[in-house]
Structure 1
Amino acid sequence: MSTNLFRWLFEDPITAGSNGNLPGAEPFHFLWPWLIFCLVGLLVTFYYSVEGRKRFVRNKPLLKYMFDRYLGWFAVICFIGLPLIGARLLLDGYFFSWRAWRYLWLLALVIWAVTWVVYLVRKYPAEKANYEAYQRRQQYIPKGNKRKVRTAPR
């Protein structure tokens, strides 16, 4: 039995169901896991932007930079996932219900995760050491006088 990958990726669920001798459209088995993943991802990103920045990373600029950068992209990926799931559920015979869109979305998620892991393994330790060295240097630099100097009246 040969499988045509192009046809499998770009076939709408109604045609796939009729080709698979199903009475209706091909069922979407991963609705709830994907929906929960996207909603939890958006909730975590929203919580971080509202409260988490102030509570968890207030005095840690490297962590703040990292979370701002990577959670922002994570929110975009999760936000794009919701219409793709909705299109698969509600628009069975149309363009955005193809499997290719969900696999492209999954590929974007994997690329995001790999990028974050590479950053954590390669760049973050060097940036952390550089920032700690900067903090040690800053403690020996005298701070300026914060009082306002009064000028003599003319």
Structure 2
Amino acid sequence: MSRLIINSFEEFKEYTGKELGVSEFHKVTQDQINLFADATLDHQWIHTDPERAKNEGAFGSTIAHGYLTLSLVPYLWDQIVRVNNLKMMVNYGIDGLRFANPVKVDDEIRMRATLAGISDLRGTIKTEMKVKIEIKDQKKPALSANLIFLYHFL
């Protein structure tokens, strides 16, 4: 898989309305779910107790925290696009976030990203990325959102 390389605002702008790419699949393991539970202090049994989740849960297994799925965006984004010539990039916001389908333990997920909009705010570049986190062999995505990033080019 090759990443899209962007070197300037002008290059970025050329992709407005276009799909930027799709990441590789990433398998979400019980170990990763447990580590996220430890980091966030969210040890709800639907995430951390495989036996109880199998017997009592609605999904037949443990599921990843929605915010764990969301937190994988930087990792997956890095596989899609590399933006060069930056002073820094800042996460600015999320619009329309929806957790549409649970990610079960050992599911494989990937991200699909489209540049929905871009503007130059006196040297700060505001981008709006339409993203979907897809689950392998599922029609309905795990999540969809419009992510807003601010880029400061050199």
Bigger proportion of residues as strand: 2
Q: Same fold (TM over 0.5)?
A: no
Shorter chain as normaliser: what TM range?
under 0.3
Given the two structures, how large is their TM-score scaled by the length of structure 2?
A: 0.25
Asked which structure has the greater CA Rg, the reply is 1
Given the two structures, how large is their TM-score scaled by the length of structure 1?
A: 0.25
